[in-house]
């Protein structure tokens, strides 16, 4: 018999999590800052009144903060008990709720997974806001018009499969719409926990695509990978892991398309890292540095652009700038397309030079690292005056996707599932 399905995360689970972090980060930070400031101020009183005033102050402060912290912990436990009894609406029953879950996973997804929290996302194929099991019948039902060419989409940090529909409410056509209408491809949306290490998500994607190929409704003859931001790193991590593990699906990949991907690291995460280090120079600001340090493994990986476990295992990545990385050989039979954008009208515009596309610098998005190209032979396209999030649904990018997918139709022999063989 199969195992019972996991209980869905509820609004009460989200509320309990918010209370937990309110205690740990907000109350804890306020308490530590208060103590640091008081310690500096009480240096003058020690010469006159000794440590008596300071001791009385500390006792009152400890009691006050302890009472607030205790109330939050009791409230969290009560709300969490309500969640286990089924109180509260399933958080993923609405697009906004699913977006909240995606954002939470991006920030603390590694911790959620470790705690077996119901809000932790498990990587899966998605259709109409729900997981699709990578087995014969569910895939056949979800992809009734499946072609032999899955085009696999991977979203970015704190996002989900529905993020690709950005602008669709205003009448814009999505990439999935265009691929369905103008190419031989079948769009396949993937959702994953963006708080995990990129290399770990690459391992999960390797296994998922292998299942997808084995159980796809028709024999697969070609695969295209489309990754936005972090998703591009996960795509490269998956092909790297598949090659090392001796898999076969990666031989079907003909195009790896990365949109605004920080191949050499992301500026915003580098700024957070630097800010954390600076804040720790002073006792009064050190607690705020601790908040910045409370970032998920996936967020920290964005500073480094790491895609393999060997690059981070056994290291404290929060203490390193992370310029060096292990070379990962690209697929010899695939074309790599890197799309970069800048806020300014040119690469040399001041905004472009400092902020890139807002989150990723031009050189990083085009795959140029400190020692040269991160992927030899990669082709790149450039969009001026376009911010990072616009790459999720931009008409020019849509044109390029259609062009690249239709550029060649050569394909190796299909890999069939045991049922199809």
Does 80 lie in the same domain as 192?
A: no
Does 375 lie in the same domain as 235?
A: yes
Does 384 lie in the same domain as 247?
A: yes
Please report the pLDDT score of residue 40 as a whole number: 56
Does 365 lie in the same domain as 226?
A: yes
Does 147 lie in the same domain as 79?
A: no
Single out the residue in 73, 93, 113 at which a domain terminates: 93
Give the confidence band of 373 by pLDDT, cuts at 50, 70, 90: confident
Chain length of the chain: 421
∠ CA 400-404-410, rounded to 5°: 170
- Residue from 2, 306, 20 nearest 133 by CA: 2
Domain assignment of residue 210, yes or no: yes
406 pLDDT above the threshold of 50 = yes
What CA–CA distance (Å, rounded) separates 164 from 176? 8
What CA–CA distance (Å, rounded) separates 168 from 303? 31
Q: Which helix (H) or strand (E) is 355 found in, with range? A: helix 350-355
State pLDDT tens for residues 280-316: 444 433 433 444 456 678 888 887 777 876 665 556 5
Sign of CA dihedral 252, 255, 258, 264: positive
DSSP 290-338: HHHH---HHHHHHHHT--SGGGTTTS-GGG---------PPPTT-EEEE
Does 386 lie in the same domain as 347?
A: yes
What CA–CA distance (Å, rounded) separates 289 from 270? 14
Give the range of the structural domain holding residue 50, as residue numbers without chain letter.
11-93
Please report the pLDDT score of residue 366 as a whole number: 93
Residue in the block written with tokens 């992301």 = 266
Burial class of 86 by CB neighbour count within 10 A (0 to 12, 13 to 18, 19+): exposed
Residue in the block written with tokens 């990578």 = 134
Give the confidence band of 163 by pLDDT, cuts at 50, 70, 90: very high
Read off φ and ψ for residue 73, nearest 5 degrees.
Answer: -65, -40
Task: Give the chain's domain count.
Answer: 2
What is the domain-level CATH number for residue 240?
Answer: 3.40.50.1820
Does 57 lie in the same domain as 182?
A: no
Domain assignment of residue 398, yes or no: yes
Does 247 lie in the same domain as 208?
A: yes
Single out the residue in 93, 114, 144 at which a domain terminates: 93
Q: Which two tokens stand for residue 197?
A: 């290490």
Sign of CA dihedral 375, 377, 379, 385: positive
Please report the pLDDT score of residue 39 as a whole number: 61
Domain assignment of residue 117, yes or no: no
Q: What is the DSSP letter of 261?
A: -
Domain assignment of residue 401, yes or no: yes
Distance of CA 385 to the CA centre of its chain: 24
Q: Which two tokens stand for residue 112?
A: 């959620």
Does 128 lie in the same domain as 83?
A: no
Does 175 lie in the same domain as 33?
A: no
Give the confidence band of 411 by pLDDT, cuts at 50, 70, 90: very low
Q: Stretch 351-371: mean pLDDT, rounded? A: 87
Residue in the block written with tokens 């997981």 = 131
Does 365 lie in the same domain as 240?
A: yes
Domain assignment of residue 336, yes or no: yes
Please report the pLDDT score of residue 44 as a whole number: 58
Q: Stretch 328-353: mean pLDDT, rounded? A: 91
Domain assignment of residue 172, yes or no: yes
Q: What is the DSSP letter of 25?
A: I
The most distant pair of C-alpha atoms in the chain lies apart, rounded to whole Å, by: 89
Average pLDDT of every residue of the chain: 80
Please report the pLDDT score of residue 409 as a whole number: 54
Does 86 lie in the same domain as 139?
A: no
- Residue from 413, 397, 402, 378 nearest 222 by CA: 413
Please report the pLDDT score of residue 30 as a whole number: 57
Poorest-pLDDT segment among 45-49, 148-152, 191-195, 380-384: 45-49
**How far apart, in Å, are the Cα atoms of 104 and each of 3, 71, 127, 349?**
27, 23, 21, 34
State pLDDT tens for residues 77-88: 787 788 788 888
Instruction: Record the pTM.
Output: 0.82
State pLDDT tens for residues 18-44: 777 665 656 555 555 545 555 655 565
């Amino acid at each position: 018999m199969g195992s019972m399905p996991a209980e869905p995360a509820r609004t009460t689970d989200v509320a309990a999590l918010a209370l937990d972090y309110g205690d740990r980060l907000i109350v804890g930070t306020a308490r530590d800052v208060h103590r640091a400031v008081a310690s500096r101020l009480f240096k003058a009183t020690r010469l006159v009144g000794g440590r008596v005033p300071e001791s009385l102050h500390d006792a009152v402060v400890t009691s006050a903060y302890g009472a607030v912290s205790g109330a939050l912990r009791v409230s969290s436990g009560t709300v969490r008990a309500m969640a286990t009894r089924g109180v509260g609406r399933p958080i993923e029953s609405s697009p906004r709720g699913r977006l909240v879950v995606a954002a939470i996973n991006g920030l603390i997804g590694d911790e959620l997974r470790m705690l077996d929290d119901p809000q932790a996302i498990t990587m899966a194929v998605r259709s109409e806001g729900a997981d699709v099991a990578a087995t014969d019948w569910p895939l056949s039902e979800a992809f009734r018009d499946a072609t032999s060419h899955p085009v696999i989409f991977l979203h970015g940090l704190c996002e989900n499969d529905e993020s690709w529909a950005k602008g669709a409410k205003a009448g814009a056509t999505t990439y999935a719409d265009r691929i369905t209408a103008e190419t031989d491809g079948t769009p396949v949306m993937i959702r994953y926990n963006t708080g995990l290490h990129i290399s770990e998500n690459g391992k999960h994607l390797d296994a998922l695509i292998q299942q997808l190929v084995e159980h796809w409704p028709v024999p697969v003859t070609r695969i295209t990978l489309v990754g936005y931001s972090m998703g591009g790193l996960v795509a490269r991590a998956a092909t790297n892991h598949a090659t090392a593990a001796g898999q076969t699906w990666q031989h079907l990949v003909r195009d790896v398309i990365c949109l605004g991907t920080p191949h050499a690291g992301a500026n915003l995460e580098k700024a957070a890292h630097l800010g954390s280090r600076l804040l720790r120079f002073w006792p009064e600001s050190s607690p705020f540095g601790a908040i910045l340090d409370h970032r998920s493994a996936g967020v920290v990986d964005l500073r480094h652009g790491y895609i393999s476990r060997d690059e981070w295992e056994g290291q404290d990545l929060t203490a390193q700038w992370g310029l060096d990385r292990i070379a990962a050989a690209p697929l010899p039979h695939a074309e790599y397309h890197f799309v970069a954008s800048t806020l300014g009208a040119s690469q040399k515009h001041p905004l472009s030079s400092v902020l890139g596309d807002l989150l990723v610098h031009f050189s990083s998005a085009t795959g140029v690292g400190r020692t040269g190209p991160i992927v030899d032979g990669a082709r790149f396209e450039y969009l001026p005056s376009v911010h990072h999030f616009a790459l999720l649904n931009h008409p020019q990018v849509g044109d390029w996707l259609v062009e690249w997918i239709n550029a060649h139709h050569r394909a190796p022999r299909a890999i069939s599932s045991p049922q199809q063989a």
